[in-house]
Structure 1
Amino acid sequence: MRLKPVVVMMLLASAGSSLAAGSLKDAVEQTVLKNPEVRAKWLGYKASSDEQDVAKANYYPRVDLNAYTGMEKQQRPTGNKGGAFGHSGVNLELRQMLFDGFATQSEVRRLGYGKLTRYYELLAASDMAALETVNAYLDVLRYRELVELAKDNYAIHKETYDQITERVSAGVGRRVDLETATGRLALAESNWLTQASNLHDVSARYERLTGSLPAADMSKPGSLAAALPADAAALRAQLVHNPQFKAAVYNIRAARADAENKQSDNYPTFELRASQGLDWNRDNVDGSYKDGVVQLVMNYNLFRGGASKARASQYAEQLNIAYEMRDKTCRDIRQTTQIAWNDTFRLKEQLSYLDQHVLATEKSRDAFRRQFDIGQRSLLDVLDTENELFEAKIALVKADYDYQLSHARVLAQTHQLLATLQLAPLESSGPDDNLGDNVSDDEKVACAGGMIDSVKLDRDAAMAARPPRTAVVAEVTPTPQPAPAAPGSNCDKAISDLVGNWSAAWSGKQLDTYLSLYAASFEASGGRTRADWETKRRARVGKEGSITLKLDNQTCKMSGKDRGEVTLTQHYSSKDYSDTVQKTLELVQEGGKWKISRERVTSGRTE
């Protein structure tokens, strides 16, 4: 007995089920041959072929042989013989359908399209299983690299921790640095554990798909970029071969045949019946009897309560549903393909930037390390740069594998992934699709319509949108010095310093320093709140132009250990205003320092 090639392949795959795949091709082959989901689709396709054969049987005659024997009992009018008697016989009947309103023809066509639908669903399941396997295979490699990065990152932080511990123990390091190093070491260990857990999870996914654990020495696959369509136009042309789209098209044709089948109730049925019977002791009359019948039987339903019309309408709507599902499938395919196609360009460009980031960060890390060793950088600077380098390497590894996966995603949508890997699905050739009523409009849908352009960075436009840069002229502003106490002042040094600092901060427009010299209990004139007063002072003092401030005739008066006042003459001049006023500053001790609790103009222009 000869085995079919597919069966041979499955037996070979079963024999090697415990062997781990060492290459991407081997892993995908294991999945396509052994994955339960793919095999279920394959068996469903096989079952659909048998289902169509069941419908085709209606074209052939039906022959039934009936034989019987037993006792009968009859009650007859007076004078006729009755009672119980034995009765045996045999009957051979042939029935041939001549016309059934095209029901059988439509049903055979529906199941034929159903078989085609199952076939393309098998191809789609094979493509998706292959893509999932590529993803799982790359993820195992990806997280193995990330685990190594996390392990190295932990070792670096452990070395730093040990170095800081030695310094602290020797009395030349700070305790806060040790606490910082301890926290970063714990974070590095947590990152290592996270990546190890991720590797465990993707290995479990790989085992679910292929039926075997990942090999210890999985080879890194070659690039699939050469198999991609040359451009977007070629990509659109290949999308019509997507098995999901094909399955949706044949599902429409199956639904149309089903709707036509329901129209058969509007026609009469004709059937040829022929029978030959032989029985004995019929009606308790001894002897043998032979009956032969040849009939043409017509059946025409006249009324069924509107059921036929309702059922025809029901299946017409089912056909409309099939149209909508085809359109949805097209949109899904177009979205998935466009994203994958754009990723092939985006990730390729992004890889160069991420690689530059890693190289630049490595240089910064090394420089920071050297500067830290001679005391020019803090430990926090070094650890931050180390963490940035770790994150940059992770981003580079992830982008590299995402880039490889993007090629497989495009090939899966164009039904080229298995062929690129030199593999074939369980059924490489489909059934005949010429069933007599193919409608080309079923495939005329915008699955391969216009595609969104790939993302391109317009750097020139980004810079052109920026405001023009103005030349920065370094302006040396002399550090304001506290004004010396006025001649003849009776203020002590602390109060004189307060007034001098207040004058210097005001004229130097050092707003934060200026406002800090006012007490928390400061009372603004005019009943204004402190917040409102500060807002207005910031606007007035901070306006454009320089301020000149001169104080004289300064006298002090104490009203206790923590209270006093200063009376002075203030000469103020700015770009657009100048005046001379007599002013009193009421002072209060706050936190051991003199501060202004109230400011009053006693003569001259008020605020």
Structure 2
Amino acid sequence: MMKLKPLVMFMMLATAPLSFAATTMKDAVEQTVLKNPEVRAKWLSYKASSDEQDVARSNYYPRVDIQAFAGYERLDSAQPNNSGNSGFSHPGASIELRQMLFDGFATQTEVRRLGYGKLTRYYELLAASDQAALETINAYLDVLRYRELVGLAKDNYAVHKETYDQIAERVAAGVGRRVDLETATGRLALAESNWLTQASNLHDVSARYERLTGMPPDVEMGQPTDFGPMLPTNTAELKERLPANPAFKSAVYNIRAARADAENKKSDYYPQFEFRARQDVGNNRDGIDGTYNDSVVQLVMNYNLFRGGATTARASQYAQQLNIAYEMRDKTCRDIRQTTQIAWNDVSRLKEQLGYLDQHVLSTEKSRDAFRRQFDIGQRSLLDVLDTENELFEARNALVRGEYDFQLSRARVLAQTHQLLAALQLSPLENTGPDDNLGDNVTEDEKIACSGVMIESVKLDREAAMAARPPRAPLPVPEVKAETPAGTCDKAVTDLVANWSNAWSGKMMDTYLSFYSEKFEASGGRSRADWEAKRRARVSKEGGITLKLDNQTCKMNGKDRGEVTFTQVYTSKNYSDTVQKTLELQQESGKWKIIRERVTSGRTE
């Protein structure tokens, strides 16, 4: 397949439609890398640097000038025998060749300087492409993030509106307190304000996305790319990847360009030699008729002896410019190391934190459901219910933010190691760099601890935290009551409970759900479909489940109804609890089914 030259490709892109709909993260980043004005400006700067080097290289070649002239001249003579002034026509032409033989290495060092300058511009282009890609990924994730947060705020508003309507009905019926209505009114206003805030945030990040990609975000945006497989496996591998950072490469070549510039300024210490050849043809020179032909061949030397100390001062000036380039390289290294360490720490920290945030949501959901049931029977105040609703809203928001921050932290690590575009199977506008073999590659320029000692992440020492606490007072010993003897149950009932437990711990969801009646009454007034969806999501999470049923008792309420009560000890990867649970059973078409599931003590469902 024929490869398009960069300029041809650029012209095709420039004349193509402005944008295309970006439905995936890869599409959005590709749109930015190809069309974003900042990236294109860096690309054009790189192309201009190549032309600039060609200008300097032209000094190696001869210079040929042709001059032709024609006109009328008037000659006033002061000679005694000349009776007056005379005029004459004096046409002519000349051609001159000039070839630089030696200029104190000025051309050589200037070509080298501009060559390193071109390499600097190239790596600046790569750095700009990586940065634009990272900003686009950030904007893409933010759009998805705030779409979810708007959805949560919308649901939170609906819950508070339902609560408000319920309290308003009670007050209107004379069975509710007006202070509860005022509380519900205030919380409803807060929920609506939160919804408006998140909607405004979504608008702002959508505008940022449009600025980067040139198009508003698509209605159906795909799931983010999983960058996990591309990440370094440990800090040692991370340190090995850091020298590939294009910002660091740019700083290194900037040093070499500054060194060549300093060498260039020393050319004034040398004489300059130039070969010149000229041929002149003319008529009527000085009013004397005739044709004249002059030929000149010269070797011209020019050597400055004194310039007021300017040569020495200029050499010192550019030596200091070289020192500045060294300092800027060191600063770039420190910036890269800081940014990389923060991103790398965020990856590990957020991965662990997501487990805690998920647990917070799960526990708060259970508390909210329990508080609502207790509120319905007068055991909880409205303020308790609204507080748990707000806590659940904030917990869900924190989980959403954590999930997207985690994905962004992975992209930040890849951007620092110059692997972000490769992870998306994309390339920058210019993927092949210019030749860096310019005869002055000092290896010490790159020998700097950009990937030096990495600061260790702060570990949570839970044992030390607990050891620092004052000792607790002993808890009162509860009175031990005799166990109630277990009732006699149909063997089919006890078998159902055992099989139900095994299906749950084995994550056999279809079997597990088959033990529940279609008329199953979920807690919190939820529909069976909603309850089933949440159960599938929770049980299917990563990690095994251990389930132990102790102190099982049974009670039959006739031939077709029964209750089984037991102590349930549940353990999973991120959660564990011990509760007292009762399963209410009913026979349907000759099979026992669970119609209600109640937690009577401990954590609630």
Same fold, TM-score > 0.5, yes or no:
yes
Cα drift, residue 459 of structure 1: 1.3
Task: From 367, 391, 396, give the equivalent of 1:393.
Answer: 396
Cα drift, residue 19 of structure 1: 2.7
CA contact (8 A) 2:6 2:429 kept: no
Cα drift, residue 303 of structure 1: 1.1
Q: Distance in 2 between matches of 1:14 and 1:374?
A: 70
1:41-440 map, 5 Å: 41-76=42-77, 77-80=79-82, 83-440=86-443
CA contact (8 A) 2:278 2:296 kept: yes
Q: Distance in 2 between matches of 1:377 and 1:467?
A: 32
Cα drift, residue 468 of structure 1: 3.4
Cα drift, residue 470 of structure 1: 4.1
Q: Distance in 2 between matches of 1:10 and 1:289?
A: 54
Q: In the superposition, relative to structure 1, how do residues 5 and 111 fare at CA in structure 2: closer, same or farther (>3 Å)? A: closer
Cα drift, residue 471 of structure 1: 2.7
Q: Secondary structure at the match of 2:97?
A: strand
Q: Secondary structure at the match of 1:85?
A: strand
Q: Which amino acid aligns with 2:80?
A: T
CA contact (8 A) 1:365 1:385 kept: yes
Q: Distance in 2 between matches of 1:362 and 1:438?
A: 63
Give CA-to-partner distance per residue, 1:21-79, whole Å, 9 cap, x none: 00000000000000000000000000000000000000000000000011222223223
Give CA-to-partner distance per residue, 1:164-192, whole Å, 9 cap, x none: 00000000111111110000000000000
Cα drift, residue 157 of structure 1: 0.3
Q: Distance in 2 between matches of 1:38 and 1:12?
A: 13
Q: Secondary structure at the match of 1:96?
A: strand
Q: Which amino acid aligns with 1:64?
A: D
Q: Distance in 1 between matches of 2:280 and 2:13?
A: 56
Cα drift, residue 304 of structure 1: 1.0
Q: In the superposition, relative to structure 1, how do residues 263 and 12 fare at CA in structure 2: closer, same or farther (>3 Å)? A: closer
Q: Secondary structure at the match of 2:471?
A: coil
Q: Does 1:29 align with 2:30?
A: yes
| Aligned twin of 1:457 | 460
CA contact (8 A) 1:13 1:33 kept: no
Alignment RMSD (CA, Å): 1.6
Q: Distance in 2 between matches of 1:354 and 1:136?
A: 23
Q: In the superposition, relative to structure 1, how do residues 301 and 9 fare at CA in structure 2: closer, same or farther (>3 Å)? A: closer
Gaps of 5+ in 1: 475-607
CA contact (8 A) 1:10 1:33 kept: no
Q: Distance in 1 between matches of 2:241 and 2:287?
A: 79
Q: Distance in 2 between matches of 1:435 and 1:191?
A: 60
Cα drift, residue 10 of structure 1: 6.6
Cα drift, residue 7 of structure 1: 4.0
| Aligned twin of 1:571 | none
Cα drift, residue 131 of structure 1: 0.3
CA contact (8 A) 1:279 1:290 kept: yes
Q: Distance in 2 between matches of 1:473 and 1:166?
A: 45
Give CA-to-partner distance per residue, 1:453-496, whole Å, 9 cap, x none: 1232121222223333343569xxxxxxxxxxxxxxxxxxxxxx
Residue identity (%): 77
Q: In the superposition, relative to structure 1, how do residues 5 and 83 fare at CA in structure 2: closer, same or farther (>3 Å)? A: closer
Q: Distance in 2 between matches of 1:14 and 1:397?
A: 40
Cα drift, residue 132 of structure 1: 0.4
Q: In the superposition, relative to structure 1, how do residues 283 and 106 fare at CA in structure 2: closer, same or farther (>3 Å)? A: same
Q: In the superposition, relative to structure 1, how do residues 204 and 411 fare at CA in structure 2: closer, same or farther (>3 Å)? A: same
Q: Secondary structure at the match of 2:297?
A: strand
Q: Distance in 1 between matches of 2:148 and 2:189?
A: 21
Q: Secondary structure at the match of 1:469?
A: coil
What TM-score comes out, normalization by structure 1 length? 0.76
Q: Secondary structure at the match of 2:70?
A: strand
Q: Which amino acid aligns with 2:230?
A: A
Give CA-to-partner distance per residue, 1:191-244, whole Å, 9 cap, x none: 000000000000000000001110000011232011001210111111000000
Gaps of 5+ in 2: 478-605
CA contact (8 A) 1:13 1:30 kept: no
Q: Secondary structure at the match of 1:17?
A: coil
Q: Distance in 1 between matches of 2:173 and 2:14?
A: 65
Q: Which amino acid aligns with 1:421?
A: L
Larger Rg over CA atoms? 1
CA contact (8 A) 1:10 1:34 kept: no
CA contact (8 A) 2:357 2:395 kept: yes
CA contact (8 A) 2:25 2:225 kept: no
Q: Distance in 1 between matches of 2:278 and 2:377?
A: 112
Q: In the superposition, relative to structure 1, how do residues 90 and 13 fare at CA in structure 2: closer, same or farther (>3 Å)? A: closer
Q: In the superposition, relative to structure 1, how do residues 406 and 172 fare at CA in structure 2: closer, same or farther (>3 Å)? A: same
CA contact (8 A) 1:361 1:385 kept: yes
Q: Distance in 1 between matches of 2:337 and 2:145?
A: 28
| Aligned twin of 1:569 | none
CA contact (8 A) 1:71 1:87 kept: yes
Q: Which amino acid aligns with 1:254?
A: A
Q: Secondary structure at the match of 1:292?
A: strand
Cα drift, residue 2 of structure 1: 8.4
Q: Secondary structure at the match of 1:281?
A: strand
Q: Distance in 1 between matches of 2:258 and 2:10?
A: 35
1:492-571 map, 5 Å: none
Deviates more, 1:39-48 or 1:222-231: 222-231
Cα drift, residue 14 of structure 1: 5.9
CA contact (8 A) 1:411 1:417 kept: yes
Cα drift, residue 428 of structure 1: 0.4
Q: Which amino acid aligns with 1:62?
A: R
Cα drift, residue 315 of structure 1: 0.8
Q: In the superposition, relative to structure 1, how do residues 157 and 239 fare at CA in structure 2: closer, same or farther (>3 Å)? A: same
Q: Distance in 1 between matches of 2:341 and 2:122?
A: 26
Q: Distance in 2 between matches of 1:422 and 1:22?
A: 16
| Aligned twin of 1:517 | none
Q: Distance in 2 between matches of 1:9 and 1:79?
A: 75
Deviates more, 1:27-36 or 1:9-18: 9-18
CA contact (8 A) 2:6 2:430 kept: no
Q: In the superposition, relative to structure 1, how do residues 151 and 13 fare at CA in structure 2: closer, same or farther (>3 Å)? A: farther
Q: In the superposition, relative to structure 1, how do residues 13 and 383 fare at CA in structure 2: closer, same or farther (>3 Å)? A: farther
Q: Which amino acid aligns with 2:459?
A: K
Q: Distance in 2 between matches of 1:14 and 1:346?
A: 46
Cα drift, residue 3 of structure 1: 4.6
Q: In the superposition, relative to structure 1, how do residues 307 and 332 fare at CA in structure 2: closer, same or farther (>3 Å)? A: same
Q: Which amino acid aligns with 1:50?
A: D
What TM-score comes out, normalization by structure 2 length? 0.77
Superposition misfits of 4+ residues, deviation over 4 angstroms: none
